[in-house]
């Protein structure tokens, strides 16, 4: 997140509060409006490419989304080459296993692991 983004967010928040006072919005309405603005900003930031380069503070879910954005293409490359070790390490978290044995080119088979 760039310094200019932080300044823009502060300015936007002040403007939202000011407008809420003019319109005599309730505290509840103001909270909803602020939450909506924060979600909009997070979505916009999430879709920028330079996020992987900068330190970032976001919700846990959004952090995982930014990580997945970089990890998924790498896993796809490995699967195309037939290297399933990393994919299976991640799949193990969900109690799955992936294999390409007996599958058509470009296809994989996922199955559940028994306890």
Model confidence at 107: pLDDT above 60: yes
Model confidence at 1: pLDDT above 70: no
Task: Read off the pTM.
Answer: 0.50
The whole-angstrom separation of Cα 86 and Cα 43 is 29
Across the chain, mean pLDDT equals 81
| Beta carbons within 10 angstroms of residue 45's beta carbon | 19
Position 99 scores a pLDDT of 93
Position 109 scores a pLDDT of 92
Position 48 scores a pLDDT of 61
| Cα of 51 vs its chain's centroid, Å | 11
Model confidence at 56: pLDDT above 60: yes
Position 64 scores a pLDDT of 86
Model confidence at 91: pLDDT above 80: yes
Per-residue CA distances from 27 to 14, 15, 30, 36 (Å) = 15, 15, 5, 14
Model confidence at 14: pLDDT above 80: no
Cβ(86)–Cβ(72) below 8 Å: no
Position 3 scores a pLDDT of 67
């Amino acid at each position: 997140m760039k310094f200019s983004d932080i300044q823009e967010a502060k300015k936007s928040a002040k403007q939202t509060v000011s407008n809420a006072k003019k319109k005599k919005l309730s505290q509840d309405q103001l909270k909803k409006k602020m939450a909506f603005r924060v979600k909009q900003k997070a979505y916009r930031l999430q879709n920028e490419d330079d996020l992987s380069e900068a330190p970032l503070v976001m919700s846990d879910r959004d952090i995982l989304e930014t990580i997945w954005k970089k990890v998924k293409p790498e896993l796809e490359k490995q699967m195309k080459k037939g290297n399933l070790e990393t994919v299976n390490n991640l799949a193990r978290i969900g109690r799955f296993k992936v294999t390409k044995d007996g599958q058509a080119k470009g296809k994989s088979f996922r199955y559940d692991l028994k306890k």
